[in-house]
Amino acid sequence: MSASNNKRIYLSPPHMGGNEQEYVRQAFESNFIAPLGPMVNGFEQDFSKFTGFAHCAALASGTAALHIALRIIDVQPGDVVIASSLTFIGSVSPATFMGAEPVFIDSDYKSWNMDPDLLAEAVEYYISKGLKPKAVIPTDLYGQCADYDRILKILEPHGIPLIVDAAESVGASYKGRHAGKGALMAAYSFNGNKIITTSGGGLLASDDEDIISRARWLSQQAKEPEPYYEHKEIGYNYRMSNLVAAVGRGQVEVIPERVERKREIFDFYERELGSCPGISFMPEAEYGKCNRWLTVMLVDAKAFGATPDEIRLALEKENIESRPVWKPMHKQPVFKDNTVFGGKVSEDLFNRGLCLPSGTAMTAGDLQRVAELIKRCGK
């Protein structure tokens, strides 16, 4: 229990745009409550239009989208799948569902994303062993795109597909294109705390129509076109429902507003706290525009006078949620035997980082209060 009577400030709670209820009402009225229906098609079209991807399949979650992506490229047990170490488990668990071996790449300080130099080293190493990596899945961390062009330059000579984990980067851009564009496939998440949410949901996007047709097919139990149920291969029950898609249609309309507000929140914290000794913020790489899904700061405990965890606990006492940076995958007990290239950068970011409350409905007063409480933790 918190000692504070203040209403809890969450890290990144849902923020409805206003039209969601109307879309949901339409879904009720048409009785398309059950899976599929016009809202799903509409949501996919809206998302295609927004991202510039030619084809989209709306799915049950971001994790499901990545699972389907790996099925589509036929990942086999024992295959090497390269991923970012500094990410959320949903980025990596699909590789394990397929029996593949996730191999982790450390971050660079410029973007906090997959370090292309270490990726080049890893690709060379596995190619020399005759074990061509089956896919590379960089995460767009906290809404900042990985350096796709540099990554593609490494992958293209070997024909290794790029699948972007864009779960956190809806509304962000890379060299003027929407996050994920340029990859063979990109996976998005609309989980409850993401920049937009459908309560829970995800989507797989590609410019290849066959890929997305296959995604739709696999996500609906791989039923043969017969009046009875016939199956020649195993699929999944991963399709987004029509009700959930109705919420998504309302949310897509407000993505630009949400990105703008997230960026204002970041700027506020940086302005208020950036001059405190020992405090710095996640950089924005010159090649893109971050959606600043979460504002993340780094704390040099000696210079500031408090550790990130002391700050977290001080905020918690005031009923304010903050969270450590993702714990690197190569430090997870479940991956203790997996290979990592580098590792020190993501460990450092994990040790010094703290994600601050970044909800787009936070008031100026809320933000001020959080900043003041953090300042008070310093010496």
Binding site for ligand PLP (CB under 6 A): 61-63, 87-88, 90-91, 139, 165, 167-168, 189, 191, 202
Rank residues 294 and 370 by Cβ distance to ligand PLP and give the closer one.
294
Nearest-angstrom CA–CA distance, 71 and 58: 16
**What are the distances in angstroms from CA 227 to CA 68, 230, 335?**
25, 9, 45
Minimum distance of ligand PLP from residue 93's CB (angstroms): 9
Minimum distance of ligand PLP from residue 64's CB (angstroms): 7
- What's the CA angle centered on 132, arms 130 and 133, to 5 degrees? 145
Rank residues 24 and 240 by Cβ distance to ligand PLP and give the closer one.
240
Residue 39 dihedral angles phi and psi, to the nearest 5°: -65, -35
Rank residues 177 and 323 by Cβ distance to ligand PLP and give the closer one.
323
Rank residues 170 and 276 by Cβ distance to ligand PLP and give the closer one.
170
Query: Count H helices, E strands: the chain?
Result: 13, 15
Rank residues 90 and 342 by Cβ distance to ligand PLP and give the closer one.
90
Rank residues 66 and 374 by Cβ distance to ligand PLP and give the closer one.
66
**What are the distances in angstroms from CA 329 to CA 28, 137, 339, 350?**
42, 13, 10, 11
Minimum distance of ligand PLP from residue 98's CB (angstroms): 16
DSSP line for 69-114: HHHHTT--TT-EEEEESSS-GGGTHHHHHTT-EEEEE-B-TTTSSB
Minimum distance of ligand PLP from residue 234's CB (angstroms): 20
Nearest-angstrom CA–CA distance, 103 and 83: 6
Rank residues 202 and 328 by Cβ distance to ligand PLP and give the closer one.
202
What is the total residue count of the chain?
379
Minimum distance of ligand PLP from residue 226's CB (angstroms): 32
Tell me the residue nearest to ligand PLP as measured from the CB: 62
> For 297, which DSSP code?
E
Minimum distance of ligand PLP from residue 166's CB (angstroms): 8
